[in-house]
Amino acid sequence: MAYSSKVVDHYEHPRNVGSLDKNDVNVGTGIVGAPECGDVMKLQIKCDAAGRIVDAKFKTFGCGSAIASSSLATEWVKGKTVDEALQIKNTEIVKELSLPPVKIHCSVLAEDAIRAAIEDYRSKQSRLAGAETAAAGSR
Amino acid sequence: MKLPIYMDYNATTPVDPRVLEAMMPYFTQDFGNAASRNHEFGWTAEDAVEKAREQVGAAIGASSKEIIWTSGATESNNIAIKGVANMYREKGNHIITDVIEHKAVIDPAKYLEQNGFRVTFLPVDKHGMVHPEQVREAMTDETILVSIMHGNNEVGTINPIGEIGKLCKEKDVIFHVDACQTFAKQPIDVETMGIDLLSCSGHKIYGPKGVGALYVRRKRPRVRCEPVIHGGGHERGMRSGTLNVPGIVGMGKAAELCVQSQAEEIARVTRLRDRLKDGLFNRLPEIYLNGHPTERIPNNLNVSFLYVEGESLMMGFSDIAVSSGSACTSASLEPSYVLKALGLGDDLAHSSIRFSIGRFTTQEEIDYAVERVCAAVEKLREMSPLYEMAQEGIDLSKVQWAAH
Ligand SMILES: Cc1ncc(COP(=O)(O)O)c(C=O)c1O
């Protein structure tokens, strides 16, 4: 089975490979998949004070389609608010990369990775807000 | 050097030009039916078929009378296993094989299991080897057939066929060997190794696809197989159908050429394979050899590259044709059952690549492959979250993965 030219392009020139500081409160990290299943994706987002995604990075263990799906996901989330990023659907990834049916799970994993990263970011932010309220109360 | 480079000789081999040349007249000029007993066309075809029978028999120390033509090793395995089971079912209903046989052995064995036979699938050791003691322990009074492969097509391990054959002789059990990967390329002697049935194929030895052979012992003991294909009683009644004369001529010639250069070719291919292995192992940390370290077919190198997935790795050197045990490359979405049977975790199975080389592989190609593969592994490790976690000192086996 031949790969689509877009998958090959993302594989050969992956966008946004790397890592952000996972301890930064403005960074959300999502790790999905499992080595036994043959794919693990780590997707990270970094947001500004207004909750807009200003940076995104990924690392993926998986087939070419998994790498391309996560690379595309980082491209797409950048510049979006977290609410907008949650609207990204795996079917759009499938369409953009022309993924065959056997590779649809790669796009699902990329969508899951976006969600997991946003969830992590939000839970950090609400913990931070909670800590600030607590600090304000004790003052 | 011409690209792409072919390093998948365990899957199939190109037809040697000398083989093609030998085949050519039998398509258009000497096109007779080998079963036509009454004219020149038939006699010419029959002579050619008998010559090929001798060439194939000679490669394994057998008489030409003991060679049955088939469409390939899949069919040979089917005739051997189902044919013996059906012929000897009065004698017993137990068959012994192992878990890393080719599907062309496993599936007929499973079919028999569903039809009243008892089949023992022996486990293999971590190198993919079956030990004679295992076979001995599995044998019962009901055992009629033992089927163990010579060289494994995926991990390359060579089984101690001679010892298992001796055991089968002692116990009066028929011994079948799938020698698809070793036929004519490794020394095989059906007498000293105690082999009763042996499967082989044309396209693994620089011959054409769609032709194979089954050796069926005629003396001490005389082995008989019920046919799988009925219709005219060709091939001593064991395989009906008009013979594929050009294919058979090609397989005979291919076997002869392999035998002629066997010793030099083993030495040459071993040297190239070891050069590939050393090139990879000297440069890359955390890679693992799959299969036996020494008892293996010379042209096979199966390696797991920890932290990178096999299919993506193959994409990284798409001008080199290899195969992978990764699920992504198979229809089943399961990683290789062979690697799993060797005890590899799914992660290592997903990370495996099989390189297999042969007659037309050059040292230049090997050096090119080392460079390309190492560069791809290094690039993908930089991209791998697993590699990053391992570098941070995280024990990957202890991580709670969010499996999907
Ligand atoms: C060990 C083994 N057995 C059987 C086969 C099947 O052979 P054929 O393609 O001739 O049917 C192969 C090749 O794929 C093989 O490697």
* Predicted confidence (pLDDT) per residue in A6-28, tens digit: 999 999 999 999 999 999 999 99
Q: What pLDDT is stored for residue B330 in this prediction?
A: 54
In a domain, B268, yes or no: yes
Interface check B315 vs A, CB under 8 A? yes
Catalytic residue list of A:
37, 106
What is the pLDDT confidence band of residue A88, given thresholds at 50, 70 and 90? very high
Instruction: Tell me whether residue B1 is in a domain.
Output: no
Ligand 1, atom 7, lies closest to the CA of B73
Residues B226, B348: one domain?
Answer: no
The C-alpha of A125 sits at a distance from chain B's nearest C-alpha, in angstroms, of 22
Residues B293, B205 within the same domain: no
Residues B167 and B180 in one domain: yes
CATH: 1.20.1250.20, 1.10.1040.10, 3.40.50.12280, 3.90.1010.10. Which one for A5-129? 3.90.1010.10
Q: How many domains does chain B have?
A: 2
Let me know: does B122 contact B75? Beta carbons within 8 Å. no
Secondary structure (3-state) at B355:
strand
Pair (B112, B226) in one structural domain: yes
Our answer on whether the CB atom of B153 is closer than 6 Å to any ligand 1 atom is: yes
Q: What is the pLDDT of residues B314-353, one digit of tens each?
A: 999 999 999 987 766 555 567 899 999 999 988 899 999 9
The C-alpha atoms of residue B15 and residue B266 are separated, in whole angstroms, by: 19
| B240 and B105 assigned to the same domain | yes
**Residue B401 to residue A33, Cβ atoms within 8 A:** yes
Return the pLDDT at A134: 75
Instruction: Report d(CA B255, CA B52) in Å as an integer.
Output: 9
Could you give the CA distance from residue B68 to residue B153 in angstroms, rounded to a whole number? 23
Chain B residues closer than 8 Å to A33 by CB: 401-404
| Closest-approach residue (CA) in chain B for A103 | B328
Please state the pTM of the whole predicted model: 0.94
Is there a single domain that holds both residue B119 and residue B68? yes
Cβ contact, residue pair A60, B383, below 8 Å: yes
Range of the domain at B297: 262-392
Domain match, B227 and B325 both: no
Residue B259 CB coordination number (10 Å): 20
- pLDDT for residue B81: 98
Contacts of A104 in chain B (CB under 8 A): none
In a domain, B312, yes or no: yes
CA B382 to the chain's CA centroid:
36
Cα separations in angstroms, B260 against B198, B204, B255: 20, 16, 9
Same domain, B189 and B63: yes
* Whether B196 and B311 share a structural domain: no
Confidence of residue A133 (pLDDT cuts 50, 70, 90): confident
How much is the pLDDT for A1? Answer: 62
Cα–ligand 1 centroid distance for B373 (angstroms): 27
Contact B347, A33 (CB under 8 A): no
**Shortest CA gap A41–chain B (Å):** 7
Sketch the domain layout of chain A as residue ranges: 5-129
The verdict on a CB contact (< 8 Å) between A62 and B382 is: no
Binned at pLDDT 50, 70 and 90, residue A139 comes out as low
Best mutation target, B309, B352, B395, to test chain A (most A CBs within 10 A): B309
CA B254 from chain centre, in angstroms, equals 16
Neighbours of B331 (CB within 10 A): 7
Shortest alpha-carbon distance between residue A129 and chain B (Å): 27
Strands (E) across chain A are located at 27-34, 39-47, 53-61
Would you say residue B33 lies in a domain? yes
User: Which residues on B lie below 8 Å from A14 (Cβ)?
Assistant: 383
| Pairwise CB contact (< 8 Å): B385 & A17 | no
Active site residue B374: no
Alpha-carbon gap: B345 to the closest alpha carbon of chain A (Å): 7
Q: Which protein residue's CA is at the shortest distance from atom 14 of ligand 1? A: B11
Q: Tell me, yes or no, whether B185 and B293 share the same domain.
A: no
Residue B403 lies in a domain: no
Using CA atoms, how far apart are residues B195 and B98, in angstroms rounded to an integer? 17
Q: Which of B201, B206, B300 to mutate to test the pocket of ligand 1 (most atoms within 8 A of CB)?
A: B201
Q: What is the CATH number of the domain that holds B164?
A: 3.40.640.10
Among B308, B382, B385, select the one facing A42 at the smallest CB separation.
Answer: B385
- What's the CATH code of the domain at B347? 3.90.1150.10
Flag if A34 and B396 touch (Cβ within 8 Å).
no
Asked if residue B330 belongs to a domain, the reply is yes
User: Of the residues B260, B279, B303, which one is the last residue of a structural domain?
Assistant: B260
State in Å: Cα B322 to ligand 1 middle: 17
Q: Based on the fold, state whether residues B72 and B207 are members of the same structural domain.
A: yes
Ligand 1: residue whose CA is nearest its atom 15 = B180
Q: Could you say which of B218, B233, B260 is where a domain stops?
A: B260
Q: Domain check: are B175 and B99 in the same one? A: yes
User: Could A14 and B327 be called an inter-chain contact, meaning their C-beta atoms sit closer than 8 Å?
Assistant: no
Would you call B19 an interface residue with chain A, using a CB distance cutoff of 8 Å?
Answer: no
* CA-nearest residue, atom 16 of ligand 1: B153
Which pLDDT score, from 0 to 100, does residue B281 have? 98
Domain boundary among B218, B236, B260: B260
Counting as low any pLDDT under 50, the low residues of chain B are: none
Which of B328, B351, B372, B398 to probe by mutation at the A interface, max A CB count within 10 Å?
B328
Does the Cβ of B323 fall within 6 Å of ligand 1? no
Question: What b/e readout covers A121-139, taking b as 16+ CB neighbours within 10 angstroms?
Answer: beebbeeeeeeeeeeeeee
Cβ of B72 less than 6 Å from ligand 1:
yes
Q: Which among B168, B180, B328, B374 is annotated as catalytic?
A: B328
pLDDT at B261: 98
Identify the band that residue A2 occupies on the pLDDT scale cut at 50, 70 and 90.
confident
Q: Is A88 helix (H, G, I), strand (E, B) or coil?
A: coil
